[in-house]
Amino acid sequence: MTTRYRVEYALKTHRRDQLIEWIKGLLAVPFVLLSQPTAVFEEGRGSVSQMAANAHKRYSEIMHDVEELINDHIAHQRKGLHDRSKLKLLVPSVGLFFTPLLLQEAFVYQDRRRYISSRRFVAPSFNDIRLILNTAQVISLVRGGPLELVTFDGDVTLYDDGGSLSDENPAVPRILDLLRKGTRIGIVTAAGYTDASKYHSRLYGLLDAVSRSDLPLELKENLIVLGGESNYLFRYSDASPARLEHVPRERWLLREMQAWREEDITGLLDVAEKALKDCIVNMRLQAQILRKERAVGIVPTGKVKLGREQLEETVLVTQKILEMSDVGRRLPFCAFNGGNDVFVDIGDKSWGVLACQRYFGGIEGSKSLHVGDQFLSAGANDFKARLACTTAWIASPAETVQLLDEIAELDELAH
Ligand code: IMP
Ligand code: MG
């Protein structure tokens, strides 16, 4: 899922984020009651600034109320009763929160940038609320600081889909600033390669900039790459030409991951491969199977662009078949739509982020942020990171840069 349109695209329930939709519904009421669309052609309907001030007040009151509901949910969580919170009744799909969310302040911050309250025809949107939630998360993290770990997805988060992180990428100096402050950085990507040079060719802009920088070696080594969702760990290394050194699994696997058996891994990939092959045949996809050690996928043959519907159908069919299989109940996996391919990986990003936290000595979820573009509940691979840490949902590499600027700005204000 790549473009803003696709993030907005919401025909089926798994294509909606229920918390965001619910907040959008709450804000729609004051929008309908307070916005003054006729003021564009009728005199005496009140000035835009008066309308905006009224709407701003009501929107921010609502955000404050939602903030309180989340605090109540967290209080229930602490007692092991999160299923009984009022928020859970209102939004059944809501999960656990690692920190409170300062939604009212975040709304004020985003309203200054997006002029949400000044709009007369366009109600507070999915993207408005997604960005308010991101800001609220950042405020909480920097106030409760220090932010100890930031993990980034690769495609669409740091660079365009299928692209690479080049020297000019504006995220590079910002990630260097985080490293300088002692924040650990993990690139937690689905892209699964056993070879460090392959990661160098995708991430060279960052790796080479770290190498050239005046950062002390111990801070440089706070950069790691976790590939194949949760399968291959590399750490930054000055000595290696690829600037990355492979870290053997026995040095970082979590106990639960050590129990994943090789025959189950092969078995799960066999089931997935068969399901993917059937999709190629049934929908006459111009695609071929790509089988790897810890993943299997379909990639287009030549320069074809596969249809969104075909990609989604392939993910949903394959996921269902795996969920129904014995091995799919024993082993975590992640089936997702990569924009122009579909992959099934062993493990998922919750394990990837947990492994990064553990590698750096046991960082807590409430001090750790995962930034990604795929947070829908099916066919999206960043979604699972929500089980391991706080998250920010971005829609493009440019939004990641904005988010990093927000972290720097709000961190400065907090200290
Ligand atoms: P991400 O957005 O960084 O998680 O990267 C996702 C993309 O990595 C997919 O869309 C694929 O194009 C690519 N990719 C390469 N190798 C693999 C693999 O082994 N599993 C999943 N995705 C892969
Ligand atoms: Mg991505």
* Gap from CA of 66 to ligand 1 centroid (Å): 36
Query: Ligand 1 pocket, 373 CB below 6 A?
Result: no
Query: Ligand 1 pocket, 228 CB below 6 A?
Result: yes
Whether the per-residue pLDDT at 236 is higher than 70: the answer is yes
Angle at 133 between CA 130 and CA 138, to 5 degrees: 130
Whether the per-residue pLDDT at 354 is higher than 60: the answer is yes
Q: Which residue's alpha carbon is nearest to atom 6 within ligand 1?
A: 190
Classify residue 173 as left (phi > 0), alpha (psi -120 to 50) or beta: alpha
In this predicted structure, what is the pLDDT of residue 48? 80
Residue-wise pLDDT tens digits, 67-90:
999 999 999 999 999 999 999 999
Question: Which ligand lies nearest to the CA atom of residue 156 in the structure?
Answer: 2
Decide if 117 contacts 103 (C-beta within 8 A).
Answer: no
* Averaged pLDDT for residues 256-276: 97
Residue-wise pLDDT tens digits, 208-234:
999 999 999 999 999 999 999 999 999
Pocket test for ligand 1, best of 161, 342, 343 (most atoms within 8 A of CB): 343
Distance CA 390, CA 368 (A): 6
Q: Which residue's alpha carbon is nearest to atom 5 within ligand 1?
A: 190
In this predicted structure, what is the pLDDT of residue 41? 80
Q: Which residue's alpha carbon is nearest to atom 14 within ligand 1?
A: 191
Query: Ligand 1 pocket, 334 CB below 6 A?
Result: no
Question: Which ligand lies nearest to the CA atom of residue 334 in the structure?
Answer: 1
Residue-wise pLDDT tens digits, 206-215:
999 999 999 9
Catalytic positions are 153, 155
DSSP sequence for 226-257:
EETTTTEEEEE-SSSTTSEEEE-GGGT--HHH
* Gap from CA of 192 to ligand 1 centroid (Å): 7
pTM of the model: 0.94
DSSP sequence for 131-173:
HHHHHHHHHHHHHT----EEEE-SBTTTBSTT----TT-THHH
| Domains within the chain, CATH numbers bracketed | 4-143 (no CATH), 145-415 (3.40.50.1000)
Read off the amino acid at residue 353. V
What's the token pair of residue 371? 């930034």
User: The tokens 């009763």 sit on which residue?
Assistant: 81
* Gap from CA of 189 to ligand 1 centroid (Å): 7
In this predicted structure, what is the pLDDT of residue 10? 41
* Gap from CA of 305 to ligand 1 centroid (Å): 16
* Averaged pLDDT for residues 3-22: 69
